[in-house]
């Protein structure tokens, strides 16, 4: 083994560490900047100005993401908008997609799971196999959501989401901007500090199109077999994977790049 062969991996590791440190510092600075801005529109424009390269926004077409889509569209900000079609959506979710594209004159990129992987999953676990165990349900989420997300974010420098601190205890400390080590990009949550009341006022004032299920007791909307309306007094995410008793349910979209020892780890995606 030559000296070059020994030194090359070391140099590569140092370059990676330096890049990571630089991105973490940029995220911390942007986190402070976004906190100081009063409007969602200003936050969206600041995100685009601060991030070099592609900024992608993953929308579930729920109320939080619809507010962000409105701000992106009305400011004309160059942000790539995509959604994950798991093959198990409510018809109302697809209606919201159609209505949103029509209202704002934009095209939302739709990402699908790999057909062969879905076929293998169903062949092994059954059509509703995800209800047999937490592990089977997470395997379904992995194929239908996590892997398509990873493909959608490939090459992006920033990832915008609709996470809010008020959504769950696991999200209580979510930052406006942080470095996602798994995706190797800066993750951005421009409405992290918004209350539900502020969110509802924003979409009402701006006549933002909403998924019809929100008016039917669905504050959080996922796949049709895995989501139900909540009962009065229940947590807003009680309708997700309701048959599970596990404390801290998640699908994996927002946990891949976080430190498992971190108190801010999100377990409620």
Q: Which of 140, 141, 226, 251 is labelled catalytic?
A: 251
Cα→Cα distances 169→120, 174, 230, 258, 263, Å: 35, 10, 18, 16, 10
- b/e sequence 128-155, b meaning 16+ C-beta within 10 Å: ebbeeeeebbbbbbebbbbbbbeebbee
Q: Is 251 a catalytic residue?
A: yes
Helix boundaries (H) for the chain: 3-35, 40-50, 63-75, 91-104, 115-125, 134-141, 147-153, 196-205
Angstrom CA distances, 192 to 15, 70, 145, stand at 32, 16, 22
Residue 84 CB neighbour total at 10 angstroms: 22
List Cα–Cα distances, 147 to 56, 77, 114, 118, 154, in angstroms: 16, 27, 9, 11, 11
Active site residues: 251
């Amino acid at each position: 083994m030559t000296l070059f062969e020994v030194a090359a991996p070391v140099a590569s590791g140092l370059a990676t560490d330096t890049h990571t440190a630089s991105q973490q510092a940029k995220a911390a600075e942007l986190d402070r900047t976004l906190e100081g801005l009063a409007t969602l529109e200003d936050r969206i424009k600041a995100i685009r100005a601060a991030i070099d390269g592609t900024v992608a926004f993953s929308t579930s077409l729920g109320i939080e993401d619809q507010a962000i889509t409105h701000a992106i569209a009305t400011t004309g900000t160059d942000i790539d908008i995509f959604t994950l079609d798991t093959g198990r959506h409510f018809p109302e979710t697809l209606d919201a997609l159609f209505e949103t594209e029509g209202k704002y004159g934009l095209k939302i990129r739709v990402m699908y799971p790999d057909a062969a992987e879905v076929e293998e999953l169903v062949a092994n676990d059954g059509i509703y196999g995800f209800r047999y165990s937490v592990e089977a349900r997470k395997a379904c989420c992995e194929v239908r959501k996590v892997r398509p997300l990873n493909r959608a974010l490939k090459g992006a420098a920033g990832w915008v989401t609709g996470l809010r601190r008020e959504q769950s205890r696991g999200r209580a400390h979510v930052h406006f901007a942080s470095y996602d080590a798994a995706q190797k990009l800066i993750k951005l949550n421009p409405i992290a500090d918004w209350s539900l009341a502020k969110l509802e006022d924003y979409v009402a004032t701006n006549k933002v199109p909403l998924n019809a299920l929100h008016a039917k007791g669905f504050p959080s909307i996922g796949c049709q077999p895995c989501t139900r309306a909540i009962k009065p007094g229940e947590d807003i995410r009680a309708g997700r994977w309701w048959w599970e008793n596990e404390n801290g349910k998640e699908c994996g979209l927002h946990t891949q790049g976080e430190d498992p020892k971190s108190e801010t780890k999100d377990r409620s995606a």
